[in-house]
Structure 1
Amino acid sequence: MVHREAGPASLPDDWPAKPELSLALTGMGCFDWDLGSGLLHLDRVALGILDVNEDDYDGTRANVLERLPPGENDRLDAFVSEAISSGEDGCGAYFRVRRRDGTLRWTHAQGTVRRDETGRPQRLIGIMRDATQELADSMARLELDEERRRRTTVVEGATAALAHARTVQDVIDVLKESDGLEHLGAASMVMGLLDSGRIRLVADGPAGSFVPGTRITRVDEEYPMSEVIRTLAPRFIETAEDFATSYAGLWPHISHLGITSAAYLPLIAQGRPIGAVGLLYGDKIGFTTEDRNLLVALGSGIAQSLQRAVLFEQEHDLAEGLQRAMLPRRIPAVAGAEIAVRYRSARLGRDVGGDWYDVIPLPGGRVGAVIGDVQGHDTDAAAVMGQLRIVLRAYAAEGHTPATVMARASEFLHELDTDRFATCVYAEADLATGVVRMVRAGHVDPMIRDTDGSCRRLPAEGGLPLGLSTEFGRVDYPVNTVELDPGQTLVLYTDGLVEMPGTDLDEGMQRLAGVIADGPRDLQELADRLCGVVDGRGGEDDVAVLLLRRQGASPGRTGGRLQQQVGRGEPEALASARHMVRAAVRAWGAGDRSDDIELVSDELMTNALTHTDGGATVTVRVLPGPERRLRVEVEDRSSVLPRIQDAGETGISGRGLVLVDVLADEWGVESRGGGKSVWGEFTIP
């Protein structure tokens, strides 16, 4: 016998509640589907869930199927059939029911398969309930989780992008152009950097939001950015009323922008404030704890990136200033030539490199053009470049041949003991004749742009880079001679103009030749175009460009250039040189200056052969310029410079230079490396 404790006398008659009542109270209905006959029993709650009128229900599935949208019946049948055929006893499914008013309701049914002794299914018995609110709550949770993931991803993505920002403007562009503000819900952004107790605005808000007098503000003023820098704490402005009350001086100037809230964040790096950023919202009221945490994390990433950017710009400006100080301050005007030069520092990387150019006026209407690149991308490379440029210029001005200039520059660089090498091209152009003597030390080949605009590569035999040639004892640089016609342009450049990651040098040079050919005829505009190509693609190398165009000769102002070698003790060669001078002055129309020119030429040749151990080189040329001038040069290997002496009344020696001084319009002496050149010039009709 089971003993039951006596219960209260007031218990209701239906205690304990039947399962049907418990299910009904929780909004669940019951169903019983006889698989053999097809009859489907639904209690009153189940009929209500399916929105089927109890009086109209005939106990079959037909009334139920009328409530299912197209496709739902097939999906449910397939689901139940799979559960029955698999031998499982339990099954459940979510499906939609179309109510009589046309709206859809999500419903969930769960049942158990009853089988006979052979395992054949006979009945499906279970419960159903309205699942609309359940799925709505689940969807809301999913959407909230998705929104949280999305906003976190935005902050993470912005932080990753900021890691690659190199300048302050890069940081601003990342925040404005990466859709980060939009995904965070902000309409616009303002940013200021702290500098000696003042805040300098570097990023404005939306159009029309600039407030006069706020470009530079003090930290102690009543502005949001000033406040967060003073307190080192973020300021979340929840409403427009909060903004107007807290910053009465600022609000009247921006109230028309429709700002509903704002978040101002201090930018702190290494424990010190470097600025502040403000995010302005147009459709947001208040900030949740999650909002605040995300924005604070974003502010930390911005601060770190800004500090790197500021340091980068400071170091880059210092290096670039040093590099530019090492370059020529101005390019001299050279008669008979048009020249354009450009230098662009690297767009990536922390420092500039050792690229340089130089233009060196030389006697006799000649000009030296130099382009070079010292190995490395740092301030040391720029310093070595400055020293190398100066000594190369000095060697060229002394009158050394291009090969000697390059060899001595290589020795100088090797003696610096910097473990650096340099590539270089030195071209010495005679603008009167167009003859260009060129030496290449490991540098990229120059190019020539023809008068019709076409461009071609100028292959030039070369030697090792400067510094390396001395180390390996190979300082004999071959000299390449080309002729530059009037209107043609010699194009010298460094490898930063043609080298790109993923492409070989030939492709880069072909691309450059196309840019030059399609470029403007104006030399300055062409130089800008070349640098514009580099600016457009960015790069890790700096670039130097030198363009030298030989100008067209004016009719009647140029003649030619004649040269004769005269050996010591060779009377036939001396006579031939005198004949050459005589023929030249007659052919070039010297007129009544012929005797003066021949007499001075003879005196210069005689002095060279008398007072030196070797022979001499006699050159006669007509110089370009506003007036027609004929120049006679006698070059020898002695470094002893002649000077005018007083020969006295009975002296024989010493009267030669006196005669030259009297007859020539101008005369002078120039060092030429291992010797000298004595010259005289005459104005001729």
Structure 2
Amino acid sequence: MLRRRPPRTASADDLLMTLGRLTAQAREGAEKQRARVELAEALQREMLPTRLPELPGLRTAATYAPARHGLDIGGDWYDGFPLPDGSLAFSIGDVQGHDVEAAAFMGQIRLALRAVAAHAADPGEVLSRANDLLLSVDCGLFATCTFVRFDPVAWTLSSARAGHVPGVWATTDGRFGLADDPGGLPLGIVPGESYPVAHRRLSTAGALVLLTDGVVEGPSFPIEAGLNQVTRLVSANAGESPAAVAGAAMSVAEFTGHTDDAAVIVLRFDGGDGQDRVKRGAGARVVAGARPPALSDG
């Protein structure tokens, strides 16, 4: 004998309607989130430079990878551009937060650094002025950053850090380490902040790698372990092309879980004096793209 299913009560019908409404809202929310993520990624890629400057004896490369799951995209950047005095500037950084707002703020920082660097040669002064400029915008976000100036005549690197993860260096004679110089607070927190500057003469051929914490840190992967991995790989590839060094450094992101976006920029330099190279070369050209004892203080 077949038993008839008892009629649903009004409360059951209400529950089904509520579940249906919530499901529709969740689907709509997911679609909006996906659209925001896609917009953030598009903004990020459009704002990052497609080419970096080079000079005779200095080759460059950079790479960027979005967050593996697409939820934490929009905060990392790198940049490189020539300065009026013939030197080159490079920066890398990470905006607090993610999504479209972080990608837009990243664009503001890049423009601020470029504008300030055209009138201030000292990397510490560049970061200090950019910090005050960003605070005047009052957007409520902050960013870590490393800013580097390459002098092709003195063949030196001058750098300053605003709360950013240290860089990694290695030379072709087998030496390596962290460029863990003193720094200041991230940009956008305290007005009038000062940023110490480290000066290094490039006496031995090698590479300096600047990166964001998405490369070296993950939910169950401490930043120290990530930096050790990058240092080992950069040392093993110090004599290779800058693109190869960048690829080796970025590969560490696969070990970290890659929950954040990640960026790497590589300066691959010859050792010695840069004056002859500048005289032979045609100036800067643009192409696609601890205190190290081997990089002697200038």
Q: Taking structure 2 as the reference length, what is the TM-score of the superposition? A: 0.77
Equivalents in 2 of 1:416, 1:376: separation in Å?
Answer: 17
Equivalents in 2 of 1:552, 1:519: separation in Å?
Answer: 16
Corresponding position: 1:497 with 2:203: no
Pick from 412, 416, 424 the counterpart of residue 133 of structure 2. Answer: 412
Pick from 511, 516, 522 the counterpart of residue 229 of structure 2. Answer: 511
* Corresponding residue of 1:431: 152
Closer/same/farther in 2, CA of residues 307 and 538 from structure 1, 3 Å limit: farther
Closer/same/farther in 2, CA of residues 530 and 311 from structure 1, 3 Å limit: farther
Closer/same/farther in 2, CA of residues 435 and 486 from structure 1, 3 Å limit: same
For the Cα contact (< 8 Å) 2:206–2:271, is it kept in 1? Answer: no
Equivalents in 1 of 2:244, 2:29: separation in Å?
Answer: 35
For the Cα contact (< 8 Å) 1:489–1:550, is it kept in 2? Answer: yes
Equivalents in 2 of 1:487, 1:313: separation in Å?
Answer: 45
Corresponding position: 1:338 with 2:59: yes
Closer/same/farther in 2, CA of residues 518 and 312 from structure 1, 3 Å limit: farther
Count of residue pairs the alignment pairs up: 262
Pick from 485, 504, 507 the counterpart of residue 203 of structure 2. Answer: 485
Pick from 543, 563, 571 the counterpart of residue 262 of structure 2. Answer: 543
Corresponding position: 1:462 with 2:183: yes
Equivalents in 1 of 2:203, 2:31: separation in Å?
Answer: 50
RMSD: 3.0
Q: Deviations over 1:542-585 (max 9, x none)?
A: 111110012356xxxx6x7xxxxxxxxxxxxxxxxxxxxxxxxx
For the Cα contact (< 8 Å) 1:463–1:469, is it kept in 2? Answer: no
* Corresponding residue of 1:527: 246
* Corresponding residue of 2:280: 627
Equivalents in 2 of 1:453, 1:418: separation in Å?
Answer: 45
Equivalents in 2 of 1:628, 1:545: separation in Å?
Answer: 27
Equivalents in 1 of 2:281, 2:157: separation in Å?
Answer: 22
For the Cα contact (< 8 Å) 1:344–1:544, is it kept in 2? Answer: yes
Pick from 365, 368, 389 the counterpart of residue 110 of structure 2. Answer: 389
Structure 2 residues without counterparts, runs of 5 or longer: 1-19, 283-298
Q: Give the aligned residue type for 1:422.
A: A
Q: Secondary structure, in 3 states, of the residue corresponding to 2:200? A: strand
1:351 positional shift: 4.5
Equivalents in 1 of 2:120, 2:135: separation in Å?
Answer: 22
* Corresponding residue of 1:442: 163
Closer/same/farther in 2, CA of residues 466 and 537 from structure 1, 3 Å limit: closer
1:488 positional shift: 1.6
Equivalents in 1 of 2:254, 2:213: separation in Å?
Answer: 15
Q: Taking structure 1 as the reference length, what is the TM-score of the superposition? A: 0.35
1:518 positional shift: 3.3
Equivalents in 2 of 1:363, 1:378: separation in Å?
Answer: 34
For the Cα contact (< 8 Å) 1:315–1:351, is it kept in 2? Answer: no
Query: Would you identify which runs of 4 or more consecutive aligned residues in structure 1 move more than 4 Å?
Result: 303-313
Closer/same/farther in 2, CA of residues 308 and 484 from structure 1, 3 Å limit: farther
Q: Give the aligned residue type for 2:165.
A: V
Equivalents in 1 of 2:32, 2:190: separation in Å?
Answer: 38
1:503 positional shift: 4.2
Structure 1 segment 93-172 matched on structure 2, within 5 A? none
1:415 positional shift: 1.2
Closer/same/farther in 2, CA of residues 530 and 412 from structure 1, 3 Å limit: same
Equivalents in 1 of 2:231, 2:172: separation in Å?
Answer: 14
Closer/same/farther in 2, CA of residues 310 and 476 from structure 1, 3 Å limit: closer
For the Cα contact (< 8 Å) 2:169–2:231, is it kept in 1? Answer: no
Equivalents in 2 of 1:415, 1:359: separation in Å?
Answer: 24
Equivalents in 2 of 1:451, 1:510: separation in Å?
Answer: 18
Equivalents in 1 of 2:155, 2:137: separation in Å?
Answer: 36
Q: Secondary structure, in 3 states, of the residue corresponding to 2:203? A: coil
Larger Rg: 1
Equivalents in 2 of 1:537, 1:476: separation in Å?
Answer: 32
More contact order relative to length (CA 8 Å, sep ≥ 6): 2
For the Cα contact (< 8 Å) 1:414–1:467, is it kept in 2? Answer: yes
